[in-house]
Structure 1
Amino acid sequence: MTDHVTRAYLKASAPEDSALRHAVAQSVSALPPALAASCAHRLLPRPMFAAEDEMNAIHGDLTDLFGLLTSLPQRLFDGDLGRFCEALGIDARKAAFMRRLGGGPPPLHGRADMYHDGDSLKLLELNLGSQLGGTDRAELSRCLLEVDAFAAFADEHRLRYIHTGEVIAGVLREAAAPVANGDAPVIALLEADGGLAPYLHLVRSFQEMMHRLGVDLRIGELGQVRERGGKLHLDGTPVDLVLRYFSVDQLCATPEGEAAVDPVYRAHRAGGTVLYTPLESFLYGNKGTLALLSDPLHREAFSASEAALIDRVLPWTRVLTDGPAQVEGTTVDLLEHCREWREQLILKPRGDFGGAGIVAGWECGEQEWKERLLDCRDNGYVVQRRVVPRGEPVLDPQTGRTEDWIAVWDAFLTPHGHAGGHIRAVPVGSGEIVNMGTNPLCRTSGVFQYPAG
C-alpha cells in the first residue's frame, strides 16, 4: 500500500507545470562535482519516503540481529572461532587474516540491503565492515532540499533525513581520537594495490563529502603506505586512522598478501594508527551466518524473542548441501525441495557481496536450475526464499506516466546508531538484481522520513 506522503508527492507532481515534478532534475545543479560526475545521470525522478517509526524499528531489529551474529561462535561453537570458520566454509588462510588481531567482535558498521514486501522490510544481505558503497548518496537529499518546491513539500509533511556522511564523520573522529592527540585526525582510505581504479569516481565522491564535513581524508593503496615508529604514513603524511576498503579476498589473491597488510597491523598494534574496521567484519558478513540463524536445528540457542526477531527480519535461508533440512517443521531432502520450489528461491555465494554470483530460480528454466543446484551444492552457497518486493510508483517527469519500480532499501548501521540510507531501483520487468554497476537501468535516490500521525 502506497503511503500518504508518496500519494501526496505524486498528486502534486502530476500537473505538467508542477515545479515539484522537476525538483530532482533541478537539484543536479547543486550537487558537488564528484558526486554529479558519479551519478547525476542516474537519479530516480523522486526520493523515497518512509515512516519514521518503521525505520526506527527496522534499525533496532538490525542492531539486535548484529548482536546475534557476533554471538554465534559462543552460542554454537563454544567460543571456538576455528570451528566457526569451518562451518562457514572459510579456508585457513582467510581465517588467519580475519582472526589476526584477536580483538573480539568488530564494531557495528555496515549496510543492510532490504526489500519491502508490502508488509515490512526484509533483509537480503548484511554487508559488514567499512568497505561500503553509497554513503555519499546522503548528499542527494541535502541538495534536493535546496530546491524551493521540494523544500516547501518537505516542510508541509515534516520530512527529515539522516545524513550518512555526518554520522560516519563523527564515528571516524571518535575512533581516531585516542591517537590524534587532540588534533584533527588524518584519515587514509586504503584499498588493495590496483583496487582503486574500477571505482575511483565513487571514492572521490566520498572524499569530496568528507572534505566538506571537515574530515582530512586521503586516498591510497596498501603499497603506498609505510610504517615508521609505530605509525603509518601515506605519501609522507602521518595517518591516524585507516578506513579499510581492502578485503580478505584481495589479500588472498596474491602470495604477498600478508606482507602487504603487515605495516597496517604493526601500526595498529603499536597504537599509532587505528585500523577501522578490522578484517573480523568479514567473519560475520558471510551469508553462512544468516543460514545459521535461520536453521531450526539451532533454534534452541535463542530465546523466544530472539527467534521472533530472526523470523521477522530474515527470509528462510539454508546452506545448500546434499541431505536433509528442516522446512516449516518438516524434514525434507534439501535439493529436492529446491528443485520443486524453483520460482521461490535464490542462490547466493556465502562470501561474495554486491549481487555477485547470484542465481535467481524464477529467472531460470527447470533444467538450468537443476544444473545450477548441482554445481552450487557443497560449494559455498546458501539458498534463500525469495522476497517479492512491492512496486514503488514513480512518475516520469517527461511523459507524466506513473510506473512501478523495484527498490532496494539500503540502511547504514554504525556505532553511533542509525546512519540513514538510500535507494537503488529498477523498473518492474527489468529483473530483480538491483545493482548500479551491472544494470544500466538502475537509478538511485535518497530517503526522507515522515513522523507518525
Structure 2
Amino acid sequence: MTTAPPATLTDRYLAGPGRRPLTLRDPDPARLDLVHQALEDRFLSRPAFLTADEAGRLQADLDGVTDLLFTLPERLFGGDPHAFAAAVGLRPEQSRLALRPPVPEPARIGRADLYRDRTGFRMLEFNISSALGGLQIAELNRLTLADPELAAFAAREHLRFPDPAAVLAGQLRQAAGRTGETCRVALMDCPDGYRATEPEITALAALLAPHGIEAYGCHTGQVRESGGRLLAGGRPADLVYRYFTLGELTADAATLVEAEALLDLFARCGVPVLSPLRTSMHGNKRALAMLWEDRCQDTLDAGERDLVRRLLPWTHELRPGTARVDGERADLLAYCRRHRERLVLKPAHGLGGSGTVLGRAVDDARWAASLEQALATPHIVQELVTPLPETFPGRESGEPEPWVLNWGAFLIGRAYAGAFLRGLPAGRADVISYAAGAHAGCVFQQAQPNT
C-alpha cells in the first residue's frame, strides 16, 4: 500500500480559503492605490508559498551565485576589472566611467528571475542593480491579509513575508554611514528617464519614510554643490540611489563629459552612489554565461559547481566555436541548430523578454535565421526551463486553472528580501512579462522554528 505524499502549503490553502479567488479589499485606499500604480492592475487569484527550508535554500543560493559573479574578475581575468568589463561588453569609455578610482565595491542589491521546475528553482537572469521594479510588493502582502480567511490561514501556518523596502533602508543607512539618524537619499534618474520612473520613485520614497529615510526623487540635471554639500533639486543628500544607467551616461560624447563631471561632484562632496555603476556588469547575462565556461568551472569547488549546475540552466554566449554541452565539447552553432526545442535565445542586454526567441515556438528555418541574426549583436543561448504549472482558482469560472509563475526574488545585502510574482495561464506562458499581460502576485513563507 502506497502512502500519499503529505499535503503542501499550497494544497492546504487550496483546500480551504484558496477555493475561491482572492479579492483585494480596501481597508487602506492609499495602499491600494500604491499597489495598483506599482504592479499594474492585474493580480493573481492567490498568493504563492514557501516553506522555511525553501526560503533558506533560496537565500543561500542567491548569496552563492552573487559571490561567484563578484569574483569573476579575480577568477578569470587576473583581478583586472577592465578586462572583465570588456568581456561582458562594456565599451572602453563605459569601463573607464564605471571603474573610476578608487574602484567601488559592487553592491549586493538585485532581483533574480526564477522558474520552478521539478528540481526546484532555476535562475533565468539576475538583475544586479539598484534600478529594480517590484520593491513595493510587501504592500500587496499586507492588502491580502485584509481577507480574514487568508489571515487565519497565515496565522495557523506561521506565515510571514520580508519587506524589501525595510531591508533596503538598512542598506541605505549603512552605505551613507548614517545608522542612528535621519538619512537623506536622492532617488536619482537621468532627465530623459525621470518622467517614466517618477511614479516608481515616488512610491519607494513613501515606503522608505517609516524607516527614517528621507528620500525624494530628482534627476541628474538638478544636482549642484553648495558649501561643499551636494544638493539635488535644492535638497541636501547623504546618498544617491541610482536609477540612471551606464548606457544613459555614455550615450554620446557630450553626455559622457557631463557624466564625468557629475561623478566628480559626488566624490568631491563625499556622497556615495548606491549601487555603484560597476555593479551592473556583474548582473550582465554574459557574466552568467561565464559561470558555465570550462575556465570558470575549473576554479569552482565541488559545492560551487553543484550550485551552478543545479540553479543555473546551461548558458553560453552565442559565438562561433566550441562549447562544452552535456559533458562533451561540440560546435556551438551546430548544436544550437540541432537542438532548437531545448533552447532559448536572448539578447545579452535585453529587458522584459524583449527579443527573446524560444526554439520550440518557431520552425527550423526561423530558428536558423534567428541564430544567424543574433551573431551580429551580443546574445546568449540558454537551456529552456519548463516550469511546473501551479493551480489557481479562476476569477471568471471559479474552477482550478493551471498558471505558470516567474518569481522575482530580491537579494539585498545577504538577505532574501521577498519576491514578487508575474504569472500567465499555462497555455500562453512562453515569455512571462507585464508586456505579455502577466498578472502580479505576492509570496508568503513559513517562519523558521522558534522565530
**Fold agreement, TM-score > 0.5:** yes
Match of 1:9 in 2: 13
**8 Å CA contact 2:228, 2:268 repeated in 1:** yes
Does 1:449 find its partner at 2:445?
yes
In structure 1, what is the Cα distance between the partners aligned to 2:403 and 2:411? 25
Match of 1:87 in 2: 87
Q: Secondary structure, in 3 states, of the residue corresponding to 2:387?
A: coil
Aligned identity (percent) is 32
**8 Å CA contact 2:17, 2:150 repeated in 1:** no
Q: Secondary structure, in 3 states, of the residue corresponding to 1:25?
A: coil
Match of 2:214 in 1: 216
Superposed CA offset, 1:344-383 (max 9, x none):
1111222333323322222222111101101112621111
In structure 1, what is the Cα distance between the partners aligned to 2:134 and 2:206? 13
Among residues 311, 324, 327, which one is paired with 1:326 in the alignment?
A: 324
Q: Which is worse superposed, 273-282 or 360-369? A: 360-369
**8 Å CA contact 1:230, 1:267 repeated in 2:** no
Does 1:24 find its partner at 2:23?
yes
In structure 1, what is the Cα distance between the partners aligned to 2:85 and 2:368? 29
**8 Å CA contact 1:127, 1:353 repeated in 2:** no
Does 1:288 find its partner at 2:286?
yes
Superposed CA offset, 1:329-352 (max 9, x none):
222111111011111111122233
* Count of residue pairs brought into register by the alignment: 444
Report the TM-score, using the length of structure 1 for normalisation: 0.92
Does 1:136 find its partner at 2:142?
no
Among residues 420, 429, 436, which one is paired with 1:439 in the alignment?
A: 436
In structure 1, what is the Cα distance between the partners aligned to 2:7 and 2:405? 15
1:68-83 alignment runs, 5 A limit? 68-83=68-83
Superposed CA offset, 1:204-247 (max 9, x none):
32223223444211111111111334432122111111100011
- Give 1:111 shift: 0.7
**What letter is aligned with 1:6?**
T
**8 Å CA contact 1:27, 1:144 repeated in 2:** no
CA distance 1:27–1:392, shift in 2 (3 Å): farther
CA distance 1:414–1:202, shift in 2 (3 Å): same
Q: Secondary structure, in 3 states, of the residue corresponding to 2:291?
A: helix
1:151-170 alignment runs, 5 A limit? 151-170=151-170
**8 Å CA contact 1:167, 1:416 repeated in 2:** no
**8 Å CA contact 1:114, 1:408 repeated in 2:** yes
Match of 2:193 in 1: 195
**8 Å CA contact 1:157, 1:450 repeated in 2:** yes
**What letter is aligned with 1:192?**
C
Superposed CA offset, 1:19-77 (max 9, x none):
xx354322575534333334462111111111121121121111111111111111111
Structure 1: runs of 5 or more not aligned: 16-20
In structure 2, what is the Cα distance between the partners aligned to 1:219 and 1:65? 32
Q: Secondary structure, in 3 states, of the residue corresponding to 1:146?
A: coil
Q: Secondary structure, in 3 states, of the residue corresponding to 1:312?
A: helix
**8 Å CA contact 1:109, 1:415 repeated in 2:** yes
Q: Secondary structure, in 3 states, of the residue corresponding to 2:350?
A: coil
RMSD: 2.2
**8 Å CA contact 1:73, 1:80 repeated in 2:** yes
In structure 2, what is the Cα distance between the partners aligned to 1:40 and 1:109? 23
**What letter is aligned with 1:74?**
E
- Give 1:142 shift: 1.8
Match of 1:361 in 2: 359
Report the TM-score, using the length of structure 2 for normalisation: 0.92
**What letter is aligned with 2:446?**
Y
In structure 1, what is the Cα distance between the partners aligned to 2:315 and 2:379? 10
**8 Å CA contact 1:48, 1:447 repeated in 2:** yes
**What letter is aligned with 2:374?**
C
Q: Secondary structure, in 3 states, of the residue corresponding to 1:339?
A: helix
Match of 1:274 in 2: 272
**8 Å CA contact 1:34, 1:208 repeated in 2:** no
Q: Which is worse superposed, 250-259 or 187-196? A: 250-259
Structure 2: runs of 5 or more not aligned: none
Match of 1:341 in 2: 339
- Give 1:104 shift: 4.6
**8 Å CA contact 1:169, 1:215 repeated in 2:** yes
**8 Å CA contact 1:322, 1:378 repeated in 2:** no
**8 Å CA contact 1:109, 1:412 repeated in 2:** yes
1:46-125 alignment runs, 5 A limit? 46-125=46-125
In structure 2, what is the Cα distance between the partners aligned to 1:334 and 1:184? 54
Q: Secondary structure, in 3 states, of the residue corresponding to 1:194?
A: helix
**8 Å CA contact 1:112, 1:126 repeated in 2:** yes
Superposed CA offset, 1:72-108 (max 9, x none):
1111111122322232232212212221244253121
**What letter is aligned with 1:443?**
H
**8 Å CA contact 1:242, 1:276 repeated in 2:** yes
In structure 1, what is the Cα distance between the partners aligned to 2:419 and 2:312? 19
**What letter is aligned with 2:146?**
E
Superposed CA offset, 1:367-414 (max 9, x none):
111011011126211111011111011102442111111111111111
1:246-285 alignment runs, 5 A limit? 246-270=244-268, 272-285=270-283
**What letter is aligned with 2:54?**
E
CA distance 1:412–1:139, shift in 2 (3 Å): same
**What letter is aligned with 2:364?**
E
**8 Å CA contact 2:97, 2:260 repeated in 1:** no
**8 Å CA contact 1:53, 1:451 repeated in 2:** no
Q: Which is worse superposed, 194-203 or 373-382? A: 194-203
